[in-house]
Amino acid sequence: MSEIFSSFSFKSLDLSNRVVMAPMCMYCSGEEGFPTPWHYSHYGARAIGKVGLIIQEATAVEKRGRLSPKDLGIWDDTHIEPLGKMVTLLQNFGSKVAIQLGHGGRKARPGTRDIIGPSGIAFSDEFPNPIEMGEKEIKDVIHSFKKGAERACAAGYDIIELHGAHGYLIHQFLSPYSNKRRDKYGGSLENRLRFPLEIIREIKEILPSEILLMVRISAVEYIKGGYSFSDMLDAAKAFVEAGVDILDVSSGGAGPSPPRVWPGYQVPYAQKFKEELGVPVIACGLLKDPGMAEEWVGNGRTDLVALGRALLRDPNWVLNAACELGVPGIIPGSYARAYPEEIR
């Protein structure tokens, strides 16, 4: 029996398989952040291709928090209806759908120089110095995440994911590399955790029981002056205690220097979170081969496997994996003639 084609059930979530589409910005929205025909076609193709869980690209809770001027947004009630239409489309094809709520902070590129961060330190020479957030502004952004979550619930998403990785605003508060504050939001790990935990708690207040909460984390930072893996393990434990259901485990992004990477390089981190915290995890990292995904899941290293570039190259990765692994009953009837008879 195939491991990645086994179903996955946790609380209210039921997935038909263990394959996840990782969130990847498409940079093709308009100025006001609405989905376009590209988004409907792009995500719809992966749902037809039987991806179990689709995580929508980073969707900005504030206009100034976009990673580019062409990012999706959820900062206004007018975003609910068009996003809801997309969610319904994907669910009708059999996929579950998550939204990644994000804010770029000092890594934002909203088309203006008005960006914010926990400290007034630029991400790199290519970015302006952000405005250091005061306590009122911190509270306002927390409220923006809460309102974004409320809108996501109204749009019908199955999961809400907070983007707490890759050097964006939540990660910026977590990291001593980017957070040099001397108030209650900086210094000790307990203080640096305050911002993400306040977001989590505010969202949990309004989140229906049938909608799960997930956080994407950077397990390590690969940078001098960043947090340790042990620190992130403690942070993730606090997230789970505050009500996070699933951890989406990635790494890096706090600084401009990329790490050395290879297929599966982040899986040991995901496995450690799974073993230490006892919650479901998603592992990712240059996954291409269905056999590799089988090993990750089959040996209990992760619960779910996320693909990024592989699904950009091949919307039917899941269908082709079923063919390679000899798993019948996956192929949509309209595509049956393209696959061997024994797996149709």
Structural domains for the chain: 8-343 (3.20.20.70)
Q: What are phi and psi of 223, to 5 degrees?
A: -150, 140
**What is the token pair recorded at 254?**
């706090």
Q: CA-based angle 171:234:4, to the nearest 5? A: 80
Q: Which of 77-81, 113-117, 189-193, 277-281 has the lowest mean pLDDT?
A: 113-117
Is the whole-model pTM more than 0.95? yes
Contact indicator for 292, 315 with CB cutoff of 8 Å: no
Encode 218-243: b = buried (16+ Cβ within 10 Å), e = exposed: bbbbebeebbeeebbbebbebbbebe
**What is the token pair recorded at 79?**
């975003």
Smallest CA-to-CA distance from 172 within 105, 114, 122 is with: 105
Interacting residues of 36 by C-beta distance below 8 A, sequence separation 6+? 28, 29, 30
pLDDT tier, 40 (very low <50, low <70, confident <90, very high otherwise): very high
pLDDT tens readout for residues 43-88: 999 999 999 999 999 999 999 999 999 999 999 999 999 999 999 9
Contact indicator for 123, 80 with CB cutoff of 8 Å: no
**What is the token pair recorded at 272?**
């450690």
pLDDT tier, 230 (very low <50, low <70, confident <90, very high otherwise): very high
- Using the predicted structure, report yes or no on whether residue 240 has a pLDDT greater than 90: yes
Contact indicator for 281, 316 with CB cutoff of 8 Å: no
- What pLDDT is recorded for position 111? 87
Mean pLDDT (the chain, rounded): 97
Q: Per-residue pLDDT averaged across 224-230, rounded?
A: 96
Interacting residues of 110 by C-beta distance below 8 A, sequence separation 6+? 63, 64, 65, 66, 68, 69, 104
- What pLDDT is recorded for position 259? 86
- What pLDDT is recorded for position 344? 85
Helix axes 194-206, 135-155, angle to 10 degrees: 40
By CB neighbour count within 10 A (0-12 exposed, 13-18 middle, 19+ buried), where does 299 fall? Answer: exposed
- What pLDDT is recorded for position 134? 98
Interacting residues of 26 by C-beta distance below 8 A, sequence separation 6+? 38, 39, 42, 57, 72
pLDDT tier, 112 (very low <50, low <70, confident <90, very high otherwise): confident
Rounded alpha-carbon distances, angstroms, from residue 239 to 165, 243, 253: 14, 7, 20
pLDDT tens readout for residues 134-175: 999 999 999 999 999 999 999 999 999 999 999 999 999 999
- What pLDDT is recorded for position 256? 87
Residue 207 DSSP code: -
